[in-house]
Each structure stands twice: as C-alpha cells, then as structure tokens.
Amino acid sequence: MSGASTCHNPAHGPEGSSSLDTAHRERITDDDQPPTTRGLDPPPMALALKTARVEDNRHHNESGEKGNITFAHSEPAHGGARASVQRQSHSNDEWPASPAQPQSPHPGPAPPTPLLLSISIPTLSKTRQITLAITLTFTMLMCVSGMQALNIGLPTIQRDLHMQDTDLQWIVSAYSLTNGCLLLLSGRIADIYGRKKVLMAGMGWWALWSLIGGFMQNGAGLVTCRAMAGCGAAMSIPSATGIIAHNYTGKARANAYALFSAGAPLGGALGLIIGGLFVAYVEYSWRSALFFLAGLGALGLIAVYFLVPADVSYTEDRRVDWIGAGLVTIGLVLLQFAISDGQIAPQGWKTSYIIVLLILGPFLIVAFFFWEKHIIDKTTRPPLMRLQLWTRARGRLASVYLVGFLSWLGFHSLFYHATLFFQEIQNTGPVGAMVRFLPTEISGIICNIIVALIIHRISTVWLLSTGLLATGLANMCLALSQQDTNYWVKPFHAMWLSVMGADFFFAPALIFVAYLSLPDEQSVASALLQTIIQLGGSFGISITSVLADVQQNKYLARGYGLEESKLQGLKAAFWLGSATCFAGMIVAVLALHGLGRVGKEETKSEEGLEGGTREERRVFGSEKGPEAAEKGVQGT
C-alpha cells in the first residue's frame, strides 16, 4: 500500500470566471491555508468536485438569486480535516466576474440543489489505511465467493433437492439477479444514511441468508435464500467503494481500489476451493459450504464494525426517490430475468412471457430516465441518480461505461462457454473444469498487483486497451481450439489472458468515477458503473448463446454430429466475444484518448491560475484549465 496521506488538504485560489448562462460561480477560499499555498489552483479532485457541482446546478439556475459555493477547509484540534460546503448569497468579495457574464432574464428563485453540509474526513495512519483496505477487500471476496461456492455442488444439490435441470441455474442466477438490480438503490441509501451502516447491514443480511440457505429442504427455498443473499451483496459493494473514495486520495486511493478489485479473483478462487472441498469431503456437502460462508460474513461484519471509520450522511436532503427506485429496479429485474430465462423457457426466446418482459423491462428503464429528468427540472427533491453522471468530463464518463459494458460482455461470455467447452467437448467433468479455471484466479491477482504498481505511471487508455486486447485474444484462443487440443497449447493461454480485460478496467474505472463524483454520490456513482458492467455480462451470455444455438442447428441440418455441431456453435460464440472486446478497445482509444493517469497523486498546481495543471487538462479535455473545464461541462 502507498504511504500517501488519506487526508488531502487542497490549496485554493481564484477560479477564472466562465460565461455559463447559469450566472453562478464558485470560489475556493484560502483563508485557512498557509500563505505559501494561496493563489494556486485546486488539485484535480477539487476541480472535479467543482466542475460536477457546476454541472448539477445547471438545471435549476437559469433564474433566481446569484450565489456561489464555498469549499472552506480548516484544521480541527484532533488533527482531522473538516470540509464544509455551503450556499452563500452574492457578495462583493467574490472573484471578479467576466464582463461577458450574462444575466438571466427570468425572475424568481430557483429550486435549491441539495448541498453537503459538512464532511469530516479522518486522518488515517498508514497502518490504518492498510487494515481498512484489507477489510473492504474482504467484502468483495465474500460476495464473489458466495456467487461461486455452489457452482461445483450443483449436481449434488439437484439430487438432494430433486430439482429439474431448468430450475437448477436459478441457484446461481437468483444471486446475480438481485445483486445487479439493487445496486443503484443501495448506493443512494448508503450516500444518504452512511456507508458504514449500510455496509454492516448488507454483510449481516448476507450472512443470515447464507446460514438459512443451508437448512433448506427444497429448491424453491434455496433459490429464495440465494436471492436474499444477493440483496446483501448489493448493499455491501457500493458502500465499500464509497468508503474508499472518502478515505483515500491520490496513489493511496489507486492502491486501495486495486486491492479491492483483487478481492474478486481471490473470492472466485476461494469459492471454487470451498465448493470443491466441502462437496467432496465434508459430511453435509453444499450445506456446510453455506454455513462456512455465513461464518465468513459474521467475521467480516465484526471487522467492519471495529476497523471502518464512522461516517454520517453526505447530504442535507435525505428524501429518497422511491418512484425512480421502483422504476429502475423493477425494470432491471424484468430485463435480467428475461435474459437469464430466455434460453430455458419452453419455447426459448419466442416464449410469450419472455417477449413481454423484454419489452416491459427496457420500457421501465427508459421511463426511469424521464422521471429523473422530471425530478431534477420540476421539483426540489433529490433524484435517485443525477443524469449528469452520464455527461461529465465531456462525455468521457459515459465512454467508460460503454467500455465496461463491452469488456464484461466478452469476459462473461467466455467464462460461460469455456465451461461448456471443457465439460461437453473435452469431457473434463466439473472438477476438471474447475482445475482448468484456476489460472484465471491467479492471473487476476497478478493483474491487480500490476495495476497498483503502474496505474499512476502510464495512461489509463493503455491499461484499458491492453486488457481488452488480452480478453479478445483469449476468446480467439478458444475459438481456434478443437476437441483434442492440448490444454497447455491454447486453452491455458485463454484462461490467464481472459481476466485482464476485467481487472485492468475495474480499478481505473472506479478511480475515474470517484474522481468525477460529488461527496454525496460516491456510492451511487460506483453502483451505476457496476450495474452497467453486470448488464454487459448478462447480455454477453444471452447474445453469444443465441448465436451458438443458431450455428449448432445449422451444422446439425448439414448432417454433422451433435458434438461437432456444439463445438462449432461454441466457436461462433467465442468469435463474437472476441469482436466485442476489440470493439471496446477501439472505443477506449478513440473516446478516452488523452485521459491521462487517473491514479496520479493529487498535488498543487504549478502552472498558474489560467492554465490549470496538465493532469486537469487531460481529464477534462480542456486546454485552459478550470475555466475551460466548466465550459466543457456546460457544453455536454
């Protein structure tokens, strides 16, 4: 872990005024800063907060009182830093306005944007930084291991609970379904009521339903327990990422996110080991695996209680947009259910209820965006998700979402079809397939170590592009494999290459999202990213499965045997997965060109008031620092 301080006190100075039609400006006061730091530009994080706030006020201040937002920093006696953000009336001592500053022709007050009253940012020692990062990484490890632990035991579960083949997949899918669909709501609640509280609630809920699941005597009960455990995972992950964003800055934040991301491959490996060992050697088989997971959850809950710093609400307005939450959650549930069930429905994708859900789910999601716009434009209520999360940094944030969607599309589809390739084509059996997947976990850990070491040294675009290229080549390795292909010739290379796209993307993307998010939306912003990449994974499995079935039926019609036809269908799926990864690489190169190094230490500007730092210009696509950055945001 880096020794960078977790409490960063920016230098503050005048911002060049912009010609935004909002008639709002911001200043960063420097009364509490040492004289040697006054007059300097704010570092990238302060610029990110300022730019995001300007953008979020844009919708409400076409008219009304002039105002500014002050970031005031002072040093309390206990050594921590307290940052307060408050709305002030227009006064003569603000920084000079541009002569071209337009005045709004519309009288009347504008609805206020909810502002953060105060945030107490703890000063953590290096030891405390490390223990906090390990504790939060344990959260990721726990959630992923819970997803993987029962995979190997599925045949045993089927025999014990007398489940049909078509119902068996829901033991895994139910967990993923609730986990992916409740992330946004959980993230918003964490930002409102405190991330540590929601994290503890999520881990306790996860442990409770893992324990109950071990006592289930029928398939429906077990599927329900897995779905409820997925809710706990959805509460935990956004809260953990928000805690990292709040307690770390610069290189320390990059290292913390890289370690947190490493929890996924560690959890996958632990899940495979738990599943394999408990099913094969422990008396109660898969039930004992769930009991063990419940114990892990209890241990994690205790660790969070003692090791995670206390936090408070990050907004003065604690109202939740329940209508918006209902629209997006129900829409995601219906869409994810249709995608997961489309393959096994009585008539496949042509089944009537699948068609209805595929129409109704996206309709509700689109309605959610219109509702959020109504909330922002016509009411004073805070939205569930600020729509500006899609437009910040001149659209680069949306490009990151798209790259993640394409990356997970190729990554998840490879894992799904590689399992079928090993078990149905090369006849390795479940345990043999598990062993062949172990290089993915080892490679994932190594990839996150590499990310922690180099993320602040090289451009983020190179990291993302290299990862997507590797996952695309992994798909190609399997597409070129035959039934008798030796594992060490092509499939082995597919395994260790496959995870690079996900692991080289996740930590940099979390850092970039945190970089452009306000203090009161860190959890919901990371939840949005995770929702999108999980949708990418679900779409990847569905689209490639449809292509595999079409190709398989085509070869069967030509008179080929079932095994050869299956192989050709899997090859088509791998080729499509490869194409999506290469498409993501192209998007990253074109849309994120010049992004810079997101893990760089946040330091004071040395380039004057107008130019901003070189790193700020890279991130915001601006050639004139903060002023141009604001204009860039206005243009989006």
* pLDDT tens sequence across 31-60: 333 333 333 333 344 444 444 444 444 444
Contact predicate 264/237, CB 8 Å: no
Instruction: Using pLDDT thresholds of 50, 70 and 90, give the confidence band for residue 265.
Output: confident
pLDDT (mean) for 236-252:
89
Tell me: pLDDT of 63 over 50.
no
pLDDT (mean) for 309-327:
84
Q: Torsions phi, psi of 101, nearest 5?
A: -60, 115
pLDDT of residue 125: 84
**Residue 75 class from Cβ within 10 Å (0-12 exposed, 13-18 middle, 19+ buried)?**
middle
Cα–Cα distance between 501 and 533 in angstroms, integer?
A: 12
Q: At what angle do helices 322-341 and 170-181 cross, to 10 degrees?
A: 150
DSSP 609: T
> What ranges do the domains of the chain cover?
27-122, 125-315
Query: Measured in Å, how far apart are the chain's first and last C-alpha atoms?
Result: 37
DSSP 226: H
pLDDT (mean) for 592-611:
53
Q: Across all residues in the chain, what is the average pLDDT?
A: 76
Pick one of 3.40.50.1100, 1.10.600.10, 3.40.190.170, 1.20.1250.20 as the CATH number of 125-315: 1.20.1250.20
Nearest to 168 by CA among 335, 341, 292: 341
Among residues of the chain, what percentage have pLDDT more than 90? 35
pLDDT of residue 121: 58
pLDDT of residue 96: 34
- Out of 68-82, 113-127, 423-437, which region has the weakest mean confidence (pLDDT)? 68-82
Q: Which residue has the higher pLDDT, 78 or 259?
A: 259
pLDDT (mean) for 344-358:
87
Tell me: pLDDT of 504 over 80.
yes
Among residues of the chain, what percentage have pLDDT more than 70? 74
Tell me: pLDDT of 307 over 60.
yes
**For residue 245, what are the contacts with CB-CB under 8 A and spacing of at least 6?**
253, 514, 517, 522, 526
Q: Which residues does residue 85 pair with via DSSP β-bridges, in sequence order?
A: 71
Kindly calculate the radius of gyration of the chain based on its CA atoms and give it in whole angstroms: 25
Tell me: pLDDT of 182 over 60.
yes
Tell me: pLDDT of 302 over 70.
yes
**Residue 160 class from Cβ within 10 Å (0-12 exposed, 13-18 middle, 19+ buried)?**
middle
Contact predicate 279/150, CB 8 Å: no
pLDDT of residue 556: 93
To the nearest 5 percent, what fractions of the chain are helix, strand and coil?
Answer: 65, 5, 30
pLDDT of residue 120: 54
- Out of 82-86, 211-215, 406-410, which region has the weakest mean confidence (pLDDT)? 82-86
Q: Which two tokens stand for residue 42?
A: 């704010």
Q: Which of 93-102, 511-520, 524-533 has the highest mean pLDDT?
A: 524-533
Tell me: pLDDT of 473 over 80.
yes
Q: Which two tokens stand for residue 582?
A: 């290469």
- Out of 12-21, 121-130, 263-272, 321-330, which region has the weakest mean confidence (pLDDT)? 12-21
